[in-house]
Homo-oligomer: A and B are copies of this chain.
Amino acid sequence: MNKTIDVCFSPALFNLYDSQDSIVVVIDILRATASMCVAFQNGVKSIVPVATVEESLAYRKKGFLVGAERKGEMVEGFDLGNSPFSYMDPIVRNRDIALTTTNGTQAIQTARNAYQIAIGSFLNLDALCQWLITQDRNIILLCSGWKNAFNFEDTLFAGAVVQKLLPFYALTYHRDSALAAMHLYDLAKEDLYGFLEKSSHRKRLEKLQIEDDIVFCLTPNQTDVIPVMVGDAIYNLNVLQSL
């Protein structure tokens, strides 16, 4: 029997999926899961995803760098926001980071009972897919969405993963979500940036002038890091395996 691959369009639908024996890939393309990939590529030791701004700030006393994003912007008084470029600063090397974002860190909480949680973004697309294939586990691709609403960018990434993995996996009950994501990715893949031009998130972020962030977050295969959750924190799997 083949292992299965599923796409979940919103954390609010996640309870329909059987995640206990599955690897759940949490996806927040603009920009939390892209930023996490950049962070680990730049030597971050761990990232603790937390639900609230207050929780994140409290980690400063424990020696953590603290990150917080709300409404697309870094919250005042924090070290880091949600821009992948901020995680390229050499100050992050070997540091532990506490991070709260509007959608991505909430989605991670939603998936906490999964067999394993991994972090996906266009930046680590191929590395992630190659690793997933070797795991011999059912896979659920969890789109963080925007406050539980369906969004394009997370769906397109899920579609890219389904397209790569479908030869090796079976579809389930939720096959329509997986096939829809794949169809939409097929439509968009030649020009992801252009396709997203009318999307809700691009509209929402327009005023923040983060076009460079968006282009960066949509550029595939910039890193081979695979962030995975162990206990309450996310680590770089490549580093864990070399210990």
Contact = CB atoms under 8 A, between A and B. Distances in A.
Interface stretch (A33-41, A169-177, A215-223): A169-177
A114 to B, nearest CB: 18
Interface string A81-94: 00000000000000
Interface in A129-164: 146-152, 155
Interface stretch (A68-76, A104-112, A195-203, A226-234): A195-203
Contact of A149 (B152, B176, B187, B200): B176
Copies of chain A in the complex: 2
Contacts of A173: 146, 149, 200
Nearest to A151: B176
A159 to B, nearest CB: 11
B199 A174 contact: no
Interface stretch (A44-52, A95-103, A178-186): A178-186
A142 to B, nearest CB: 14
B179 A150 contact: no
Given A12-B13, A148-B13, A149-B13, A198 B174 contact: no
A243 interface: no
A236 interface: no
Contacts of A180: 150, 152, 155, 180, 184
A203 B146 CA distance: 31
A64 interface: no
A33 B74 CA distance: 47
Given A9-B9, A173-B200, A149 B16 contact: yes
Contact of A150 (B9, B149, B184): B9
Interface in A1-60: 9-10, 12-13, 16
Contacts of A16: 12, 147-149
B150 A177 contact: yes
Contact of A175 (B155, B179, B198): B198
Contacts of A148: 13, 16
A12 B9 contact: no
A10 B12 CA distance: 10
Given A12-B13, A155-B180, 5 more contacts: A9-B9, A10-B13, A149-B173, A152-B176, A179-B199
